Structures are given as structure tokens and as C-alpha cells.
């Protein structure tokens, strides 16, 4: 599953202007959004993408939280 999320995040990183091909409520869509966020914030490509508890993810040594606000996903680094 870790490889799956890394691949999904890589798709978002490679195509940040495209629409996610995944179901909006899926973990794969979350990973895709994380990849897009990495690209838009000029961070390195996704190497390690793991889901944690709730809406928290471990990404490239960072801990991030996804906030779902009116159909928009906001990502914040928390550690």
C-alpha cells in the first residue's frame, strides 16, 4: 500500500494542474493532492508517503494534516 500511495502522489506531482482521477473521498485522492501540494510548494518529489491516523500523513519525513474545507483540500505541515 505504501508504494500505491507513493505512485498516486507522484501522479499529482507530475500533473499539478490536472484534475485528480480518483474518487474524491478516497485515500488515493488524498495522496494525489499531497503530490500536487509538494509540487506547488517547490518541495521534492514524493519518496515516502504513508497514511497515519485520521487525516494525518507522513510525507518525505514531514507530518502533514489534510483539512477538508467546502470541497477544497488544504494541507498544512504540522511537524
- Non-local (6+) Cβ contacts of 49 within 8 A are 2, 5, 6, 8, 9, 31, 34, 35, 57, 58, 59, 60
For residue 1, what pLDDT is reported?
A: 57
Beta-ladder partners of 50: 58
Which of 41, 56, 46, 60 lies closest to 7 in space, CA to CA?
Answer: 46
For residue 3, what pLDDT is reported?
A: 77
For residue 71, what pLDDT is reported?
A: 65
Query: Could you list the mean pLDDT of each consecutive 10-residue stretch along the chain, which spans 79 residues?
Result: 86 95 92 96 96 94 89 84
For residue 69, what pLDDT is reported?
A: 80
- Non-local (6+) Cβ contacts of 50 within 8 A are 2, 5, 57, 58, 59
Amino acid at each position: 500500500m505504501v508504494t500505491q500511495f507513493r505512485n498516486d502522489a507522484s501522479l499529482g506531482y507530475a500533473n499539478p494542474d490536472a484534475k485528480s482521477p480518483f474518487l474524491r473521498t478516497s485515500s488515493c485522492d488524498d495522496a494525489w493532492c499531497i503530490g500536487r501540494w509538494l509540487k506547488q510548494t517547490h518541495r521534492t518529489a514524493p519518496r515516502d508517503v504513508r497514511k497515519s491516523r485520521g487525516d494525518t500523513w507522513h510525507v518525505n519525513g514531514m507530518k502533514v494534516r489534510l483539512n477538508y474545507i467546502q470541497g477544497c483540500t488544504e494541507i498544512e505541515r504540522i511537524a
